[in-house]
A and B are shown apart, each in its own frame.
Chain A
Amino acid sequence: MQPNRIIVLVFALLTLAACPAFAAKTVIQYDCIPNYANWGGVTKAYQKKTGVKVPPDMKGSSVTMAALEAEKKNPKADCAYYNGAIGFQAASKGLHEPYKPKGWDRIPAGLKDPNGTWWTVHSAHVAILVNTSALRGKPVPRSFADLLKPIYKGMIVYDDPRIHGTGFTFVAGVNAILGGDKDLNAGFNYMKKLDANILKYAKENSYNELLRGEIPIWINADGNGLKAKHVDRAPIEVVIPAEGTMTLPLVMGLVKGAPHKEEAKKYLDWLLTDEAQHLMAESFFQPVMPVKLNASLQAKFPPRSAYARAKVLPLDQLAAQADVIKKRWEKEIEGGR
């Protein structure tokens, strides 16, 4: 081949590659982990219904907020999903655009921002998810205090609170459950003791590792454990700790300057419909809308009495303290050899 022809060929290829690929309709949701709150199933149903693709995204709450902040001038995401406190923090940083999706009025007050910068889609509780076959005959831990027993050494995992919102809620909330003061010392003392039994502070989603028994005990959302038990039929027990637990509202918001804004609005509307809310309930996250669940599904949820001692943590306070709590965790729990 003549050298000139090679050059022409290369340039032709470059031009071709530069052409934007045929864009199928998409909505980008940051923090769309398929194994968390059944986002895999929910987005699949939406694509089947409308043809709009919502690709999976493995960022945790905090990473999502950081990404939105970094991309502020040139947003890539349309909507974002977080744990309540981090979503509140992101909204107060002005990363969201006010939007009130259809059905807004039926979201209970306190679970939404009056201006529409964030709203809850479903909620869960922090629970102890136990793979009973991986316990090898050890008793199932029933409380936060049980988790400190030396028999569970190297068996417990919770998510890195700097990355995942669920881990953050646990770290920030356990203090209140243990009756600690505002200084959070009781909570941090607990986590220092717990550290002796920790296998790892997960930076990736650990759902599959729990299923396989690689992780015997995962402190995470109750819904994920119930799905592992009822849908994936793994030997999982979902323990609501005897001391009580914290509710974990999971919120969404429309990203300011979203590239596919109109599509995103339709998607956010749909997430509050009975159909979508029921899908979320099928993976055992408590729908925020008053949807009727059929009796057999309702029976698989733990009885209301189990959550009698669940605390609702004030999101504004948590959000205000979030950075301090994470820095303290980094220093006191993960720091130094």
Chain B
Amino acid sequence: MNLPASSIPISSGGHARERRRLAPLLLCAPLLLLLLALLVWPLTHLLWQSLLPTDAPDSGITLRNYLEIFSVPRYRHALVWSLELSLAVAAGSTLICLAPAWLFTRCQFRGKRLMRGILTLPMTFAGMIVGFLMVILLGRSGFIPQVLERLTGQPLLSGISYQFPGLILAYLYFEIPRATLTLESALRKLDGRLEQAARSLGATRWQTFSLVILPTICPALISAFAVTFSVSLGSFGVLLVLSIRRFTLLPLEIFTQYIAPPTDQGLAAAMSLTLLTVAFGAGFGLRRFARSREVANA
């Protein structure tokens, strides 16, 4: 293997340096190979599958599967709903989590670790578990509707978990830790002296926030948005449990087209690649944008 380390001119002590670099590189190699194998081979396979019509695989390459995503209302809706839901969840979680992230980086208080633990806990749950939690909390015989019924005599909010607001809530629930952690690590890097300077130059609290802090943390907000958007776009475990009537997301359509016969693997592959392109494109574009902002601010 031609390692870049070998290009370093070997002087006294160069050998040790080389070895210091060689070990991590060697340790990374299996990971790199695994990632490449997991990425390149299935993607090629998917691309090939998506170009063949499932019912007539011998008839040659066609874009029919891709066109179907946009021409069949159900699939078009699935794509649009996926985008809508992910945008809403990404925007919501980024905004909501700014406050706790700020709190965790700037303030010391009792119970901070506990609060942090609670806020990051949902990240460890699979989507299906979040779905079950939603049913227990806001299902037809969920905890909150039962309490509300005891108080008001009306089964308010009953079964809301099987409706769109319930789904948004469930998605927010497991995006909150991701957004909090992303924002927190970015805020930690924020230079506190900038604020002090602004304040000592006579800026009001609001001016400091809107003119100094906000532009500085803008890249962090964008990257939190990008992360939560991509993750929401791909997850459907919640919907698998809630099976919201007449509502579907593109990942769920992929799942059913792939596993429930009569399967249409060409269509599923086309959907997967569409989703992948959107998620990757959005993530990449937003992060580039964020980086350019960072440079502008520096």
Contacts and interface: CB of A to CB of B under 8 A. Distances in A.
Interface of A: 3-4, 6-7, 10, 14, 62-63, 65-67, 69, 134, 154-155, 160, 162-163, 195, 198-204, 209, 212-216, 322-323, 326-327, 330-331, 334-337
A6 B23 contact: yes
Interface in B194-240: 240
Contact of A63 (B73, B241, B260): B260
Interface residues of B, number: 32
Contact of A326 (B73, B142, B244, B262): B262
Contacts of A202: 243
A114 B26 CA distance: 60
Interface string B252-278: 000010011111000000000000000
A3 B23 contact: yes
A331 B73 CA distance: 10
A67 B261 CA distance: 10
Given A62-B260, A63-B260, A337 B246 contact: yes
Contacts of B283: none
A160 B243 contact: yes
Contacts, number: 90
Nearest to A69: B261
B261 A199 contact: no
B22 A326 contact: no
A162 to B, nearest CB: 4
B141 interface: yes
B27 interface: yes
Contact of A336 (B20, B73, B142, B159): B73
A162 B260 contact: yes
B141 A7 contact: no
Contacts of B116: none
B140 A66 contact: no
A69 B262 CA distance: 11
Nearest to A212: B141
A199 B159 contact: yes
B48 to A, nearest CB: 16
A160 B252 CA distance: 13
Contact of B22 (A3, A14, A163, A209): A3
A214 B140 contact: yes
10 contacts: A160-B260, A163-B260, A199-B245, A203-B241, A203-B243, A204-B240, A214-B135, A216-B140, A323-B261, A334-B74
B159 A323 contact: no
Given A3-B20, A6-B23, A198-B245, A336 B77 contact: yes
Contacts of A335: 73-74
Contact of B140 (A65, A69, A215): A215
Contacts of A215: 140
Contacts of B248: 334
B174 interface: no
B104 interface: no
B242 interface: yes
Nearest to A86: B261
B112 interface: no
B33 to A, nearest CB: 12
Contacts of B26: 7
A209 B20 CA distance: 57
A271 to B, nearest CB: 25
A199 B260 contact: no
A201 B256 CA distance: 13
A66 B244 CA distance: 24
A200 B242 contact: yes
Given A62-B261, A134-B141, A163-B260, A201 B27 contact: no
